[in-house]
Every structure is written in C-alpha cells, then in structure tokens.
Amino acid sequence: MADYQLKTQVEQLLAGLGTVFAGQQAVIEEVLIAMVAQGHVLLEGPPGVGKTTLVNTMAALTACEFRRIQFTPDLMPSDIIGANVFNFQTSEFTLKRGPIFTHFLLADEINRTPPKTQAALLEAMGEKQVTIDGAAFKLEPPFLVFATQNPIEHEGTYPLPEAQVDRFLLKVLVPYPERSDEKVILDMMQNGRPAAAMLEQIKPVLDKEQFLQLKQQADAVTVEDGILNYILDIVHATRQNHHLAVGGSPRASLSLLICSKALAALQGRAFVTPDDIKRVSFPVLRHRIILKPEAEIEGLAADTVVRLILDGIEVPR
C-alpha cells in the first residue's frame, strides 16, 4: 500500500513538473532521489538550462519555502546565516535570520565566493543547524541545499573544498535540452505560458509532512547482503584504481545505499537491485573521486572511470 502511495505521489510530482519544466528526465530522476533521501545536490551545467526553475518548482509542489542566494566574491558568511543586530529602540541585540532559514536553498554559482563564505554552509549541511555568536539554531526540516556551478567559466572561481563537496549526496550534471524538448519550451513561450508564469500557478501536490514521510518509505526498502557487498566492492575498487588519486570514503558507501533505496522506492519496489546501484553510482561518485593528473591528460573523466569500475565487478545474482 505504501509503495502504491509513493508511486502515486511521484506521478503527481512529475505531472506538476511537466507543466513548467520540459525534458531532462535523468536530471529529474536524480533530483527526486535526493529529495526522497533528504540529501543535498550539486547541480553542474551551463547557464540557462533551468536549474533554478527545477528547484523552485519542486519546492512549490511540496509546499516548501524556497530561497535563492547569488554567491559573489564579496558575499559574507553573515549574509547567509544571519547576524545579531543591535536594536537602538530596545537597546538589545536581535537576531536577523539569513536566507539559510528555509526549506529549499538554492546556492547559485557557489564556486564564485571565497572558501570562508562557502564554509558557512558546512555546519548547516552536516548538522542541520547554524551557530551565530556561539548560539546554535536548528533548521526546520526539510532542509535541502541545491548548489549550482558553471563548468565552463573558471576565471574568478574558487574550487569547493573537498569536505564541502563530500557533503553533497549527489552531483547532477544538467546538459543542454534535446532539440524536441527545447521546441516545447519555445511553444510554451509562444503560447503565453512561459515557465515563470506557469510556476505562479503551481499548486502543492504534497504537504511538508507527506514530503518528509517519503524518506520513511525509502528507509523501509529491503537490501540483501549480496547488494551490500556489491556496494563495498565498488567503493573499494575506487580506492585501488590506478587512474584515481582519491577514492570513495565510507560516506560514499552510505550514499550508494541511501540513494539506491530511494530509487527503488520511487519505482514502486520494496527491494534494491544491482541495476539500482549502477544507476546511482555516477551521481554519487563523480564528485567524490579525484583523478590523477596523468589520467586527466589522457582525457579520462570521472564518469568514465566509474564505468570502467562497474564493468570490472561481478554483479550479484
């Protein structure tokens, strides 16, 4: 019954999303996996492919608050988390909460701000709380960070620290849309239904409590011992691969488990298959492994190495 309910909820989300967002099925699936698993997402793609629209629409469909921060070189940590401001009328300090106090936070062009400001997200992403002047403030669930970065422009950017990159459950690559999907976008605009206007008409298909319950349904998915060993085989292979300087950590193993259960739940199954592990291996591992310089010179990419690793490991029966 729960599987049927989740499948129905996913269909409602996809139907609502289809009124605003065209194509990008693989991207949508990966974002849904992260939402069900309650994990943060790093979105990488060229400008103008709909990253902001996608996240904003998902927030509207789940009755969650959406806030966007444009990361710039002069952005300060207090601009994100907030600060205590002196009130001259009361002669007391009052807390002015920053935009991080939300449900869906879009950190736009996160690699354009210095590491000190990037680090302001670390505690929030890991502990679901922020500390302001020594006092801790819990963030209301759900709290999800969707950070974007542009893979083309590197001038004036600051690479994300490894500790922060590892906090992202998935790294989702957002390519240019297919020609047929881009035609749909043009038709929507021509017919007076641009994405911005359609977004204003979106009605939630889930409330916040129902959204939070999605993770509980995913947590109930069964995982056999053979699947757990398959996850370990993959992650340990990244640590021994001669193309890689850094392999996956235990957090990578946990992320493979969490995401494969979320994918199985999204597809209406109560068990995880090897194909689920293969499907989530790319977005889970691509930002956690670091290629050796000689591998990059050879033209290898992280996804290529993940594919080679998967091809070299026996699939459990």
pLDDT per position as a tens digit, 261-311? 999 999 989 999 999 999 999 999 999 999 999 999 999 999 999 999 999
- Per-residue pLDDT for 19 more than 90? no
Note whether 252 and 246 are within 8 A (CB): no
pLDDT bucket at 154, cuts 50 / 70 / 90:
low
Please give the mean pLDDT across all residues of the chain.
Answer: 91
- Per-residue pLDDT for 4 more than 70? no
Average pLDDT over residues 250-255: 97
- Per-residue pLDDT for 313 more than 80? yes
Read off φ and ψ for residue 71, nearest 5 degrees. Answer: -80, 125
| Widest distance between CA atoms in the chain | 71
Query: Looking at the chain, which residues constitute the CATH 3.40.50.300 domain(s)?
Result: 2-214
For the chain, the distance separating the N- and C-terminal CA atoms, rounded to the nearest angstrom, is 28
Query: Looking at the chain, which residues constitute the CATH 1.10.8.80 domain(s)?
Result: 221-311
Most confident segment among 87-96, 97-106, 209-218 = 97-106
Q: Which long-range contacts (CB under 8 A, 24 or more apart) does 99-102 make?
A: 99/67, 99/68, 99/69, 100/67, 100/124, 100/130, 100/139, 101/137, 101/139, 101/140, 102/65, 102/66, 102/67, 102/143
- The CA distance from 72 to 138, in Å, is 26
pLDDT digit string (tens) for 223-248? 999 999 999 999 999 999 999 999 99
Q: What is the pLDDT of residue 3?
A: 61
- Per-residue pLDDT for 137 more than 80? yes
Instruction: Find, among 67, 130, 126, 145, the residue nearest to 102 by Cα.
Output: 67
- The CA distance from 271 to 267, in Å, is 10
For domain 2-214, give the CATH number: 3.40.50.300
Note whether 255 and 234 are within 8 A (CB): no
Provide the residue type at 154 as one letter. H
- Per-residue pLDDT for 151 more than 80? no
Q: What is the pLDDT of residue 155?
A: 67
In terms of DSSP bridges, do strands 170-173 and 41-44 run parallel, antiparallel, or are they unpaired? parallel
Note whether 42 and 168 are within 8 A (CB): yes
- Class of the CATH domain delimited by 221-311: mainly alpha
Among the ranges given (109-118, 166-175, 241-250), the one the predictor scored with the smallest mean pLDDT: 109-118
Average pLDDT over residues 130-158: 86
Q: What is the pLDDT of residue 87?
A: 82
DSSP 222: B
- Per-residue pLDDT for 2 more than 80? no
Q: What is the pLDDT of residue 1?
A: 46
Estimate the crossing angle of helix 250-266 against helix 208-219, to 10 degrees: 110
- Per-residue pLDDT for 156 more than 60? yes
Q: What is the pLDDT of residue 152?
A: 63
